[in-house]
Structure 1
Amino acid sequence: MDAKVEQADIASNALEKNKVPAVDRVMAVLAILEQRADGTSIRDLVEALGLPRTTVYRVLNSLEIHGMVRRSAHGSYTLGPRLLSLAARVVRDEGHNDLANLAMPHMRRISSTVRQSVKLSVVDGDSALVIATSASVDAFSLNVAPGQRVPLHAGAAGKVLLAHFPTAEMEAYVTGDLASYTQNTIADADQLRAELDQVRERGWADDHGEFTPNVEAFAAAITDHAGKTKAALSIAFLSGLSLREREMIRSTVITGAGAISADLPPPRVSGA
């Protein structure tokens, strides 16, 4: 066995042995609520987690006390306001900060032009993580705060990022457990491969309500001087826009991603 692989296995086993089951249950609850913006019931959580109802209730009760979840008058649970203050204090990767700062002037210009909000996303595990946004003041625009995560196969930005994975890593994702979030989610491995092939060929991706019903998007890759994909620029919008409006958004995303790519600094030369 390769020494690095063996060391990684040892480290992974050590982590597994030192986990706290109660914390794992809390994170499992939060992970489900993260994917269900409209809320979910205790019954649904019990079925999804396979835990006793009393256990799930106690977890939810503790989280509600700390403001991590919120219970509606109808008894459904959603993520709570305390998470916003925690997210605001997350220290981003230094490279992400540099990229976000470089991209922001372009993103502000784009959001003003198309009157829609613009997102900058990077790969983080098996998700597309939003690291920067430029919100539009238009009443019908969709505003998202940095920190949002979307599965790589269920959105325009995620598909752009996934399409440029190394072949082995992409295949591992495609053949994994592809969850369905709406009736339009591409959860079949062969269909997803074909979709990703098309994304690479044409240079952009679209989303027809694959993660959230009636929310569509266009995205394009931001690449460095070596052609490596560093991030995805995307614009999400409510379904129902005219073909002219959709085409304006698509072309603006492609042009904007290209402009940000061109502004990326060249690689440092060793010894310079």
Structure 2
Amino acid sequence: MSEEASQKYRIPVIERMVDVFALLERTPEGATIREVVKAVKLSRTTVYRMLNTLSAHDFVHRSPAGTYTLGRRLLTLAAHVAPNVASYDLLAIAQPHLNQMSDVTGEGGKLTVLSGDEILVVAASQGRGQYALTASAGQRLPIHAGAAGKILLAFSPQEDIDRRLSKLDALTSQTISDPARMLEELALIRERDWARDTGEQMVGVHAFAAPVRDASNAVIAAVSIPFVAGVDERRVEEIHRTVIATARTISKDVAEASKDELAADIPMTAEPSANKHSSAAKRSNAAATKGRVSHIKA
């Protein structure tokens, strides 16, 4: 389709809405209505009505100061889109396992993904323990300070790691702010396949995290449990084991969902003779065997 034809079948108001989302994506601290008007080149009244409508559906959020940021409704949409645009539903797969993890440990848990130079909580489970820490979808956290962030950083492309090494702000006395030390920490995380936070993001709060992988073994998210420092070592080890087991179970289910989708996409063709049916079945079985997901790294 030519560019002219493509433009003909577009809706201008939706184009402007996309411009609004793009602006707010670039300004996580929030944009004023004046800045939005300038970006989308529409009247202030039109922009106000557009933002008010988006805010009513929680696609954007208006702060008490009058600035606009992306809304939490987008998290729900994003969590239903796999990184490789497959049709499996990451949030639907992960949430029951997060809930079970919290039932077992009594601690709150969360699922996080990369979001620019930060990590974003896209799903959470609430703990029942007296000192359980809570998280909620929509929280943005630093990528370099915290177990989940370090998991996602460790398995990022090297060029992304190198770029982020210049932004290692010290949040506590335990935060790793030295690039050389961080590289050592990331190498250890890749070797272990899990990460620990000993108060790097918040004094008195520790955490364990483990990676969630897709069918190609790429890391797409991190499962973690933050907990109050000072618990006995037996409890610490229970949290550690449960986080790893939960991440592996979610990874397995993601891989299975991908296999199911692949099988559903294989065309079924009727052939007249029994021999042809047998041959088709053999080809189908061979294709399924070839597409099996490799064993998740122990």
Interval containing the TM-score (normalised by the shorter chain): 0.5 to 0.7
* Residue 240 (structure 1) shift: 0.8
Q: What does 1:105-254 align with in structure 2 at a 5 Å threshold?
A: 105-174=96-165, 176-254=166-244
Further displaced range: 165-174 or 102-111: 165-174
* 2:77 pairs with one of 92, 113, 118: 92
- Structure 1: runs of 5+ lacking an equivalent: 1-14, 29-65, 71-81
Deviation at 1:244, TM superposition (A): 0.5
Quick one: distance in 1 between partners of 2:154 and 2:258? 24
CA 1:138–1:67: 2 relative to 1, 3 Å: farther
Q: How far apart, in 2, do the equivalents of 1:102 and 1:181 lie?
A: 33
CA RMSD between the two structures: 3.2
After TM superposition, the structure 1 stretch with the greater mean CA deviation from structure 2, 85-94 or 97-106, is 85-94
TM-score between both structures, scaled by the size of structure 2:
0.62
* Shift >4 Å, 4+ stretches: 23-26, 88-91, 267-271
Q: How many residues align?
A: 206
Match among 63, 68, 76 for residue 63 of structure 2: 68
Q: Offset at 1:89?
A: 6.8
What amino acid is aligned across from residue 212 of structure 2 in structure 1? I
Question: Unpaired runs of 5+ in structure 2?
Answer: 1-18, 32-60, 83-87, 267-298
Q: Indicate whether 1:266 and 2:251 are aligned.
A: no
Equivalents in 2 of 1:206, 1:189: separation in Å? 18
1:68 shift after superposition:
3.0
CA distance in 2, matches of 1:240, 1:188: 26
SS of 1:27's partner is coil
Q: Decide whether the 8 Å contact of 2:112 with 2:120 is kept in 1.
A: yes
CA distance in 1, matches of 2:136, 2:92: 16
Q: Deviations over 1:21-67 (max 9, x none)?
A: xx969639xxxxxxxxxxxxxxxxxxxxxxxxxxxxxxxxxxxxx98
Structure 1 residues 138 and 197 mapped into 2: Cα distance closer, same or farther (>3 Å)?
same
For 1:95, what is the secondary structure of its paired residue?
A: coil
Q: Percent identity?
A: 34
Q: Distance in 1 between matches of 2:234 and 2:182?
A: 28
Q: TM-score, normalised by structure 1?
A: 0.67
